[in-house]
Chain A
Amino acid sequence: MVIRFWRMTVLMLLLITTACSSYVTEMTPISPGTEVVEQAHPDTETKNELIVWTFYDTTESDRQFMILHPQIKVKTVRLKYEEIANAFIKAYGTRESPDVVFLDSSMTGQLNGLDILSNLRGQGNQVNQIAKKIPVNMLPQYSDVKLNKLIAMPIALPTAFTYYRADLLEENGFPADPDKLTEYLSTPQNWVDMAIKLKTKGIYLFQHYTDPIDVAAMSSSILNRKLEFAWDSQVFQDAIYVAREIRRNGLALRSTIWDPSGEQALRDGQLAMLYGGPWITDSLKSWAPDQAGSWRVSQLPLHLYGYRDGAMIGIAKDSQHKSEAGKYVQNVVSLTKSVDVSGQDSYLGGQDTLNMARSNAQYNKGIYPTPLDAELKALWDKNIQGIIESDQPIANQLALLKEQMEQVTKEERAIIKEAIQLKD
C-alpha cells in the first residue's frame, strides 16, 4: 500500500513537471511567414513608349532622337512652365508619371528634397560622361539636397551674363568693351551713376528696381551649405543700395521683356542692359533681330559670377524605361556638343558665350538649392520691398531679416542639416 502511494506520487510529479515544461513564455511559436512579393507593373512593362513631359517645344530634338532610336517611341506631353514641377510631383507613383521630365533649375529646390528622380550617374557610361562636363560648382543645382545623387542634367550651362547694348553705352561715354564694362560696374555707385546718366537719354538699365537684387541672387542661394541665411552679404547690401537708388531716382523701365511694352522698349533701344542666362541670346534674336551686332556679353555687375535659371532634364525614379530615358537624355543634353561646335555668335559681335559660360563657371560660388527656398523666397519678397523703401541701414535690416528667416525655418533647417550630416 505504501509502495503504491509513493509510486503514484513520483508518477504524478513527473506528469506535473512534464506539463509545466511546456509552459515557456506565454507566447505562441509561429512559423516564419511568407514574404510578400511585390507585383510588377505589367502594363508599363509591356509598353515600349517613352513618355516625356516638357514645358517647351522639343519637337526637333524628339525627331532627331527617333531617327537615332527608331525602336523607341517618344510620347511628349507639353505642360506649362509654372505647372510642370507640381504636376510631376503629383503624378509620381501613379500610371500618369512620365519617364523623362524637362524642368528648370529654379525648380531644383522643389525637387531635390524628394526621392522621385533617378540618379543619372547610374544611367550608363554615356550619361556619366556628360555628367562629368558639369562644372563642380554647378552640381548642387542638379543634385539632391544631400548631394548624393545627380537628379537632373542641364540642357546647357546657364551661366548668367550681363547683356548690354555696346553701341548705346559707347554713345554715352561708357565702356563698350566687356572687360572694361565689367570693371566699371564692379562698384555699385558706378552702376547707379550709369543708370542716372542714361536715363536722361531715355535709356534704362533695369526693368524693375529689384533687378540688382536678382543679379545678386544669381551668385548665391538663399541658404549656404551650412543652411545659414546667405543673402545678408555685402553683395546684397550693395545690390539693395542700387535698388534703393533706382527706386528713388526712378531708374527702372517698370516693364519686363516678357510684356509687350517691355519688348517694344527693347526694340526701341530704351532697354540697354539685361541680366540672365545664355537663353537671352536666342530671345534677343527673336525680339530684336535688327539689333544684331549691337549686343555684347560681359560678366555680371559688382564683379559677380552666377547662374540664371535654365532648363534641365531628369528621369523619374519609378520609370520602367530608364535605359531608353538615358538615351533620350544623352540626345537632348548639349554639354558635349558645345565643345566641338564653335560658339562664336555674330549677333553678339562674335562673342563665344559657350566658352565664356564654361570659363566663368569655375569662379562661381556654390549655389545650394533646398526645399526651403520657395518658402524663404516668398518671405524675402515680402520683406525686401520694405527694406528697399526704408531709410534704415541695410545691414541692420538684413540682420533682422536673417534672424526672422532662420527662426521660421529652424526646425526644417535642423532636419536638412541632419540629413546632410548623415551623408557626411
Chain B
Amino acid sequence: MLGSKLRLQARLPLAILLLLFSLLGDFLSLPMLYGMRFHFSTLFLILAFILIGSPAAIIMALITACSNYVWLQMSVWDSVIVFAEILFLALACRIRKGSVFLYDLLFWFLTSAILLISTLYVDLFPSHTQLLLLLAKSSVNGSSNALMAEVLTTYLPFIRRLKIKNMSKKIPLQRILVHLSISGLIIPFVCFMIMTGISQNHVINLRALQLTQSAASSIQEQVSSWSGGNYRALELRDVIQLGELQRIVNNAASGGTQIVISNAAGDVLASSQHTDSTSSAGSQPEGRLYQYNSNLYLTLPEGRHFTELSVWSGGVYWYSISLHASVDYNINITVPASHFLNEVYGVYAIEFGLVIAFILLVLIVVYVLSKLIVQILIKLTQETTGLPDKIAAAFEMSRTESHIVEFDKLNLNFQHMALRLKEMFTEATRMNRVLTEQAKQIRQSEQEFQQLAFTDALTKIPNRLYFHKHLKQLIEERSSAVTVMFMDLNKFKNINDTYGHEIGDRLLQHVAGLLTTAAGTGNVCRLGGDEFVVVLPTADRVPVIQIAEKILELFQLPLHIEGEGLTLQPRTSIGVACYPGDTGNPDELLKLADQAMYLAKQSDSQVVWYSKEQGDV
C-alpha cells in the first residue's frame, strides 16, 4: 500500500492526465451505428492500471463511472461497466499476473454469461438481438481498449519507460503473436464498423425520409383532386370525408409508419393508429429533437435508460408537411427508429459475434502455434545443450518435421551444421592426438637435450653449466646460504699420462660415483678435467664437515681396474667457501672455493675453509 502511494505520488501528473482523458468519456468516442459508440474511457483507465497501479486505477474508474452517470448523463450500463471492468482486472491481476487483454476478454465472457442467464429471469432488454449486440459490441470495445493499452505499454518506447512495474523487458513470443494477430483482426474491424456505421446512419436517415416522404406524397396526391366542398366537409368533420381521409391514410400507412392528419391545435382528423385520442397524437413526439431537413425530425426519448441501444429503440422519425395549401392541416408521419435499426442491429450482432469468435479462434491458434514453436525451440535447445560431448559421443540428429518452412529449414541447417561440426570435431580430435604425440616427443627431446646440456658426458653427473644454473637458482629462489666444496684429483695428469686417458676417464667416473654417494642431498658437478664441486644448500659447518669427511673416507677406497690388474688410489684436496659468509657474490663463490682448495694443496691439507686470512681449516 505504501508502495502504491509512493508510485501514485511519483506519477501524479500522469494520473491526472489519464483521469482527464477517461473523464472526457463520451467526447472521446467514435460514432458507430445509432445507439452505439466506440468509447475510449477504459483505454486510459487500463493504461493507468498498468502504469500506475490497481488502487489508483480503481479510484479513477470510480470517478469516471460517477462522472458518466451524473455529469454526462450516460446510460446505466455505460456508466457502471467501466468501474466493473477495471475492478475485475485489478482483482484478476492480483490473484495471478497475466495479460490484461486476456483478463479483459475473460471479464466480458463472464459478464455476457451473467447477463444472458439473468435475462431468463429479468426482462432488461426489448429484444435478444439488442442484448447480443450490446454484449458483442461492449466486448469488442473493451477488449480492444485493453489490447491497445497492452500494445502501447509493451512496444512504445516512451510509454514503456513510464512503466513502474518494469518486471521484464523481454517480451514472450506468444504475447507478440497474440498482439499481432488480434490487432490485425480488431483494428480493421473496428475501423470498418465505424465507417459502415456512419454510412448506415446516412442510409437509415434516407430510408426514413423516403418512406415518410412517399407516404406523405401519396396522401397529398390523392387529396389534391378534392374539391373545395370536400375540404369544407373536412373542416366540418364530415364523417364520410373523414372516412375518405382515413382510407387514404390507411392506404398510405405501411412499413411501420403511423400517419396522423391534424391541425395546429392537435385535433386529429385521421390516424392510421386506431385511437380516439386527440391529445398528443397529432403533435410532435416528445423527447430530444433532431432536425434532418425542414420536414424530417428524429426524436429520442428523454430520461435515462439502461443502455444506449434502449434510447435509440425508443427513437421516432417524425415527418411533418402540410396536407394542402387550402387547409391548415398537417400530415404527421412517424416511424419508429427500431423499424430500421432492428434489421441492422441483427446484422451488426452477427458481425460482432463473428469477430469475437475469430478472436477466440486466433487465440487458440496462437496458443497452439506458440506451443509448437516453443516445442521446436526447446527441442533445438535440448539438442544443442552439451553439443561437444554429444558430438564426441557420436550422436545422431533427429529428423522431425514441424510443417513450418522456416523452422524446418532452420532444423536442416542446424543438422548440417552439427554434422559439419562433428566432422570438424573428429578432425580436431585426430589433430589433437597427433599434436599431443608430437608435443610429448618434443618434451622428450627437450629433456634429452637438457640432459645433454647439463650432464657431463663422461661421468653422467651435472656439468659446469648445470652448476652455475643450480647455484644461481639456489641463491635466488630458496636458500639463504650455500656452501661450495671444490676439489680435484691430485696428480691426475700423471695417471693420464701414465695409464692413458681411458684409465683416467674410468678414474674420473669412479670419483664421480664416490662424490655422488658422499654428497647425499648435495649436488655433485664436474666442472671439467678432474675438477668437481659439491653444492650444499647450507652454510652450517657440521653437515659440510660430515660430507667432507665422508668424501675423504670414500676416497680411501682404491679403484681396481679389471683386466689391467691395475689399482689406483685417488687423492684429493677440498676447498670450501660459503655464501654469504665468505662472499655476497655467487660468481665469486666458486673462485673462493678454488682458492681454498689451492691453499689446501699447498698446505697438504685435505680440507681448507676459505677465509679472508687464508689458511684457517
Contact = CB atoms under 8 A, between A and B. Distances in A.
A342 B451 CA distance: 181
A36 B264 contact: yes
Given A17-B40, A29-B288, A145-B239, A23 B246 contact: no
Contacts of A414: 243
Contact of B238 (A24, A113, A418): A113
A260 interface: no
A6 interface: yes
A67 interface: no
A93 B205 contact: no
A136 interface: no
Given A2-B157, A17-B29, A27 B298 contact: yes
Interface in B137-181: 156-159
A83 interface: no
Interface stretch (B30-38, B102-110, B125-133): B30-38
Nearest to A32: B289
B367 interface: no
Contacts of A92: 236
Interface of B: 21, 24, 26-31, 34, 37, 40, 156-159, 194, 198, 201-202, 205, 233, 235-240, 242-244, 246-247, 264-265, 274, 276, 284, 288-292, 297-298
A-B pairs with lowest CB-CB distance, top 4:
A415-B243, A115-B237, A27-B290, A113-B239
Given A14-B21, A25-B34, A26-B202, A371 B246 contact: no
A30 interface: yes
A416 B238 CA distance: 10
Contacts of A3: 157-158
A28 B290 contact: yes
A12 interface: no
Interface of A: 2-3, 6-7, 14, 17-18, 20-21, 23-33, 36, 38, 89, 92-93, 113-116, 144-146, 371-372, 411-412, 414-416, 418-419, 422
A23 B194 CA distance: 12
Contacts of A89: 236
Nearest to B298: A27
Contact of B31 (A2, A24, A33, A415): A24
Contacts of A33: 284
Contact of B289 (A20, A30, A36, A422): A30
Given A20-B30, A25-B298, A415 B240 contact: yes
Contacts of A415: 239-240, 242-244, 246-247
Given A113-B239, A415-B240, 18 more contacts: A3-B157, A17-B28, A20-B31, A25-B34, A26-B201, A27-B205, A27-B292, A30-B291, A38-B265, A93-B235, A114-B236, A114-B239, A116-B236, A145-B239, A371-B240, A415-B243, A415-B244, A418-B246
Nearest to B152: A10
Most buried by A among B29, B198, B201, B240: B240
B206 to A, nearest CB: 10
A192 B27 CA distance: 95
A21 B197 CA distance: 13
A108 B28 CA distance: 68
A113 B241 CA distance: 9
